[in-house]
Amino acid sequence: MKSCRILVPFWVSVAALSLPSAPRAAAQEMPPPASAPPQQAAQQTAPGASQTLRLTLDDALARARKNSTQFQSAQTDAAIARQDRYQAGAALLPSVAYNNQAIYTKLNKNGPTFIANNGAHEYISQANVHESIDLVSISGFRRASAASAVAKARAEIASRGLVVTVVQSYYAVAAAQLKLEAAKKNGEEGDRFLKLTQDLEKGGEVAHSDVIKAELQMQERRRQLLEAQLGLLNARLDFAVLIFPDFNDNFELAEDLHASVPLPTLAEVQQRAARDNPDLRAALAAVEQAGHDVTGARGGYLPSLTFDYWYGIDAAQFAVNGPNGVSNLGTSAAATVNIPIWNWGATQSRIKQAELRRTQAQRELSLAQRKLLAEIKSLYAEAETALNELSGLSRSAELSAESLRLTTLRYKGGEATVLEVVDAQTTFAQANTAYQDGAVRYRVALANLQTLTGVLTTP
């Protein structure tokens, strides 16, 4: 496979879209206007050139991750799920609080008054250590752990989907650059062929119809050049919107579209996918989460145990020692067992609800496993086909260039017709376009395999 690396600057001006009627070669030989001295022009273009950002594919991926709202949303969900897991774990540990309370009761002058507290004035200032143990809380922590794993897998799915988009956009720009360069060469070839037919017509060697056909072909090549310029412009704009938070089109690509990138074996892809596929991990974690939901719901049938320990004062005076010198400081402890008796079937309903969710999660896991097997074979076949076709497309591009050269020489010698030359030019343009599109197809196919295996192969 022949490697071709071409970097086309983006400052293809809009003025280039209005081509003169004279051949392009003549337009390129025109001197610059007198009002723009060479030194002044260099000063005007030097700052822009020095600020051009050279982007590798890894740079583009890093920038896209920072700029993608969908990817950042998935990352945020994963971070929130991690905090939920932390909070569920903290709920299993003892908590410490310091309670301060003052209770005042108005006394009845006519006789004793019943009061709920220990005296007319009661001051409470106590540290309370509280611990609650029940199956629901334990299952809640395990469920939060599984939910965190689900969110992490979904964030990875979003990341790998973004990789495919960036790869496709990145190499679409590279292909558009090469197509523009090929379109320029085709345009120059059309100009030269028109000049050739005009010279041969003056010598009486060909008819005027050949000149007309050559001029039509030249006009077609110029239209293709305009389309190639527009295609490059749109590809760069789409890519800039994807990777930059603010609009910036002053960049160039560092990766070679036609660099050799090997295709891993099918066995390697299958092994990596079974271990690293995020869709499968998300489905497994969802089944685990649903299982903990069932366990937590069944915990509603079981007793819960609560421990409390207090240390502080509970007295008629807010003081460490009372009037008689007795210390108000003291400790107390309590243990409570709550036994559920009747709640009108609410616990049974929650269990049934959790079991339905678990059954659905198991169905989705089975579907994810089947889809993974199918996608491995389908995406690998796509990548393998694109790679096999790429070598043929490269050879076709070489042969079309050689055919155009030989057909033009035969036309000069009077052995070929103008239609043969036009057909050779068209074949050359189509072969080059197909070659660039085939290279992009292979790169995107490799990126799609990355969504299954987690390994993106870059040159």
pTM above 0.75, yes or no: no
- Say if residues 313 and 329 touch (Cβ distance below 8 Å): yes
- 216 closest CA partner among 190, 198, 184: 190
272-289 tens-digit pLDDT: 887 778 888 888 889 999
Q: Which residue has the higher pLDDT, 374 or 451?
A: 374
- Show Cβ contacts of residue 257 under 8 Å, excluding neighbours closer than 6 positions: 4, 5, 171, 174, 175, 178, 436, 439, 440, 443
Pairing type for strands 304-315 and 121-133 reads antiparallel
Tokens linked to 275? 């271990």
29-49 tens-digit pLDDT: 333 433 344 344 434 443 444
Q: What is the mean pLDDT of residues 388-410?
A: 91
Burial grade of 3 (CB within 10 A; 0-12, 13-18, 19 or more):
exposed
Tokens linked to 108? 């009845």
Q: What is the mean pLDDT of residues 368-379?
A: 88
